[in-house]
């Protein structure tokens, strides 16, 4: 029996935060569907582990060790992708940091600034750098991972919640701006998932009772394929 056609064969996808958790799961799922995945994360060892999983899934990856809090190199990355591939078909903005949970007025400025730098400003820099490459694709897809924290005012979650609310508005505004193009922009809210960030926020939880990161991947794949129709939506990931 012939193998089913891979829905992302020949496509180029970039995933941030790809060294573990949801980012790793999404990268492997995209690769299994045929995409060449560009893996971006701070941790080289984690990227190499993801690369092993990508290869095991029959895919190919390019590894880019980078801290998204350092913004200028993101422009250079856009140029390098343009030179090598001429386009970007799928952008998955997944990388995020929680910061420290605590009263807003007690928060260390460096913690607050890093949360905003990674969760918000890096997203804007990604859009700025990769918009021309997404437009060069016949079906550019931008997917950003958000959180239910963006739509509630939970005490002690100020920095993270504010960053995700800003991310949502940034992504939805961008969606409106590209509505008449072939680009589709959506957000994925994964809900409660077994990740390192979740463990840091809820140390008393039993992680074995939570859905694994792989539970989010199918939603992201559906939003990444050329036939995707949703646009400017916040989609539940599990």
160 is catalytic: yes
Torsion of CA 48, 49, 51, 53, to 10 degrees: 170
CA distance 148 to 161: 8
* Cβ-Cβ contacts under 8 Å for 70 (sequence gap 6 or more): none
CA distance 178 to 185: 8
CA distance 185 to 233: 8
CA distance 28 to 58: 9
The torsion region of residue 208 among left (phi > 0), alpha (psi -120 to 50) and beta comes to alpha
**C-alpha torsion sign, points 134, 135, 138, 142:** positive
Residue positions counted in the chain: 238
Q: Tell which residue, 171, 157, 55, 169, has the closest CA to residue 115.
A: 157
Cα atoms in the 13 Å half-sphere on the side-chain side of 234: 18
Q: Of the listed 150, 160, 178, 186, which one is catalytic?
A: 160
CA distance 12 to 57: 16
Looking at the annotation, which residues are catalytic?
A: 160
């Amino acid at each position: 029996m012939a193998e089913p056609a891979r829905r992302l064969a020949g496509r180029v996808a970039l995933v941030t935060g790809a060294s573990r958790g949801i980012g790793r799961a999404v990268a492997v799922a995209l690769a299994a569907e045929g995409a060449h995945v560009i893996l971006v994360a701070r941790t080289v060892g984690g990227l190499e582990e993801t690369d092993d999983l990508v290869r095991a899934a029959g895919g190919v990856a390019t590894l880019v060790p980078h801290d998204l809090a350092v913004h200028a190199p993101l422009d250079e990355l856009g140029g390098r992708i343009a030179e090598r591939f001429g386009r970007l078909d799928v952008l998955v903005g997944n990388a995020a940091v929680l910061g420290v949970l605590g009263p807003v007025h007690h928060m260390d400025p460096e913690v607050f600034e890093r949360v905003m730098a990674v969760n918000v400003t890096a997203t804007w820099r990604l859009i700025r750098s990769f918009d021309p490459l997404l437009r060069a694709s016949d079906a550019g897809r931008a997917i950003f991972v958000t959180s239910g924290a963006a739509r509630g005012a939970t005490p002690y979650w100020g920095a993270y919640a504010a960053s995700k609310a800003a991310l949502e508005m940034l992504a939805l505004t961008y969606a409106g701006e590209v509505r008449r193009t072939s680009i589709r922009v959506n957000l994925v809210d994964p809900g409660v998932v077994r990740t390192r960030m979740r463990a840091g926020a809820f140390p008393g939880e039993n992680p074995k009772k939570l859905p694994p990161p792989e539970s989010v991947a199918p939603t992201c794949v559906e939003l990444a394929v050329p036939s995707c129709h949703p646009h400017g939506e916040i989609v539940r990931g599990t």
